[in-house]
Amino acid sequence: MIIVHDTFICKPGNASKVAKLFKDAMSENTDVVNIMTDLTGEYNRVVMVSKYENLAAYEQSFQKYMQDTDEVKKIKEKMKGYHELYLSGSREIFQVW
């Protein structure tokens, strides 16, 4: 199994907005297991945690969001303008042992 952390460093005052956007937009995605905001460490951080059986499953999920389906259109509409709310981001993929 792998765990993916998509981390966003938000502009001040926007972390909770980004977290709410992700929680709403990804509510039907069973791969997303948690949306977290910082209590310690780097300020204004939002982490979206996803879980997959293996890297192939992660790749399939990623490809799904590259298609122009109604589901993807709905997510894009909900997430419209979120790029203006954060400064940078990163992705970490962990192997679970």
The H or E element containing residue 9 is strand 2-10
Domains and CATH numbers, the chain: 2-95 (3.30.70.100)
Structure tokens that stand for 96 in this block: 């679970």
Per-residue confidence in pLDDT tens, the chain, 97 aa:
999 999 999 999 999 999 999 999 988 888 999 999 999 988 999 999 999 999 999 999 888 878 888 888 888 888 888 889 999 999 999 999 9
Identify the residue whose tokens are 């509510």. Answer: 27
Work out the angle at residue 31's Cα, subtended by the Cα atoms of residues 26 and 36, and round it to the nearest 5 degrees: 60
Q: What is the tens place of the pLDDT at every residue in 64-90?
A: 878 888 888 888 888 888 889 999 999
pLDDT score at 13: 93
Structure tokens that stand for 64 in this block: 């799904």
- In contact, 74 and 24? CB cutoff 8 Å: no
Identify the residue whose tokens are 């679970």. Answer: 96
